[in-house]
């Protein structure tokens, strides 16, 4: 599942970056979401796989804090970017004639930058609150299942949700593979 997540999201990034027809706000945000999904799962899954392989749940304090810092950072960034993507679709549907004027490259870059600045600010504010408050006991098995669903399944499904039914992404991927195939046969 981890490999499918990474490869699927990398394919979206490849398709968007290699096809000039996909250099639109919607695909710009989609490629950023793919990057964030790769980063998010890469902060948790490798350690989880190591724990499964070694049958050990041990983690250093520094490793735990680092993993938690990055996982929370990318989780909140993911949520904010999904909100930005919803705004992009709102503008495209409600103001189609003004879409390219409103969603210009400068605004798109600012929205993504603002998303990053806000998973940094929210992360440090909420983490401080979590550490200063008392811990609440939870059922560890249900917490583990929820964690796996959120950290592995959702980022794995995003490439399928956003690209399988999207003709533009399919076309761009086909072009990329055709170009790569022809370059490989020429040399």
Residue 166 belongs to some domain of the structure: yes
Residues 6+ apart with CB under 8 A from 148: 48
Confidence band, pLDDT 50/70/90 cuts, at residue 113? confident
pTM of the model: 0.71
Q: How many domains does the chain have?
A: 1
Residue 182 belongs to some domain of the structure: no
Q: Give which of 132, 119, 177, 37 is closest to 185, Cα–Cα.
A: 177
Whether residue 47 is predicted with pLDDT greater than 50 in this model: the reply is yes
Residue 148 belongs to some domain of the structure: no
CA–CA separation, 104 vs 82, rounded Å? 18
Residue 180 belongs to some domain of the structure: no
Q: What is the mean pLDDT of the chain?
A: 80
Give the domain extent around 9: 2-135+153-174
Q: What is the CATH number of the domain that holds 127?
A: 1.20.1070.10
């Amino acid at each position: 599942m981890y490999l499918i997540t990474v490869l699927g999201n990398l394919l979206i990034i490849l398709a968007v970056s290699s096809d000039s027809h996909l250099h639109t706000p919607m695909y710009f945000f989609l490629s950023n979401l793919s990057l964030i999904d790769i980063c998010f799962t890469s902060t948790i899954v490798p350690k989880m796989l190591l724990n499964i392989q070694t049958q050990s749940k041990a983690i250093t304090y520094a490793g735990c804090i680092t993993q938690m810092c990055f996982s929370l950072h990318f989780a909140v960034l993911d949520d904010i970017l999904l909100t930005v993507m919803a705004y992009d679709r709102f503008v495209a549907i409600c103001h189609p004639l003004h879409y390219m004027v409103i969603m210009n490259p400068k605004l798109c870059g600012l929205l993504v930058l603002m998303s990053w600045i806000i998973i940094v600010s929210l992360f440090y504010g909420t983490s401080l609150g979590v550490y200063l408050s008392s811990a609440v006991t939870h059922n560890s098995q249900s917490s583990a299942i929820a964690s796996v669903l959120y950290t592995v399944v959702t980022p794995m499904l995003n490439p399928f949700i956003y690209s399988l039914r999207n003709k533009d992404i399919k076309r761009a991927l086909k072009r990329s593979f055709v170009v790569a195939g022809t370059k490989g046969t020429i040399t």
